[in-house]
A = this chain, B = another copy of it.
């Protein structure tokens, strides 16, 4: 009776849900960050079987390297206890709180182009609000660490206005523009999300300890890195994709010529969402990156919250005085594109939507499924159709504006 617990005994009384959660958490620590090959394995054999394969090193060649270093570290239960002690939680793709809609695009990117192109395995979350609700309407505001008084002021105005209008401000908690964006949202009692490049227990930068504590109080601190993970240079680049994924669009306020903000913009564009940049004095080095992105067509120019919502916000009916509560008003990116490609009356085959939108077949299928989940479209033997064709003109008009 006092013998060591056998591995089998350890799982006695553990529900499937628990087992899956432990598998996600175990894998999160093994790969520390995005791993497209592991995501693919999970997609094909399921998370529990994938965890077993990693543990036993019964792996394809591509996965041996990424898992080699930490596959022996199985401290999932302790990690879960740790995040609980911090008042946080881990959110996995199995959870209702998982922002599935937001993550769709990341899973559709080609990992051959960028090794980081993968959905995070889990998100470690601190804060009381629901992640899925907090990211329903959200804009990322990012920029230079070495910001100027002008940049700080512009960020305060823009992020404050977005937050006051009920939009979540997503940023990276860095010095300069990021910190200012969070503070502006907090100042108006708005919602803000800090996405970290380290474990959820690590305040980074350490001088933002207090700011991060305030964000945990009324907003959310989110990271894909398990507790205890330190920041590393490549974490920032991978982190930026989560900032982009959690928002309807990315706004850059001040960026030097080699700013990391350009990387966030790259993710944003790859996800099919609007990237935006705020101009500044041409005499200011801190605005050079913004001007360059605008000039090279990488970002739209925006000067105020209204411009940002024009680009990234809900598509609006142009009928005067009509403010419809239709869910399709919240469409953007591929969702809006695909929805607009469906006829106002009748059905359409995915093949025709592919031809119209220029998206890949897999993107169209995934997007149609996502639209189906929220009840905007359905399919019959003739193809896909809109469940409510009444607002056709508004969505199409908004799409036209972006062509």
Contact = CB atoms under 8 A, between A and B. Distances in A.
Interface string A92-104: 0000000000000
Interface string A299-338: 0111110010000000000000000000000000000000
Interface stretch (A131-139, A263-271, A274-282): A274-282
Each complex incorporates copies of this chain amounting to 2
A295 interface: yes
A17 interface: no
Nearest to A307: B295
Interface residues of A, number: 21
A277 to B, nearest CB: 10
A150 interface: yes
Contact of A154 (B282, B288, B291): B282
A265 to B, nearest CB: 16
Contacts of A288: 303
A180 to B, nearest CB: 15
A403 to B, nearest CB: 11
A378 interface: no
A303 B278 contact: no
- Quick one: which of A278, A302, A303 has the most chain B CB within 10 A? A303
Contacts of A153: 283
B291 A301 contact: yes
A283 B287 CA distance: 14
Given A295-B300, A303-B291, A307-B295, A280 B278 contact: no
A159 to B, nearest CB: 13
A96 B280 CA distance: 45
B291 A295 contact: no
Contacts of A291: 279, 301, 303
B295 A301 contact: yes
A302 B301 CA distance: 12
B301 A150 contact: no
A154 B283 contact: yes
A231 interface: no
A186 B295 CA distance: 29
Contacts of A295: 300-303, 307
A362 to B, nearest CB: 30
12 contacts: A150-B283, A154-B281, A154-B283, A157-B283, A279-B279, A279-B291, A279-B294, A280-B281, A280-B282, A295-B300, A295-B301, A295-B303
Interface of A: 150, 153-154, 157, 278-283, 287-288, 291, 294-295, 300-304, 307
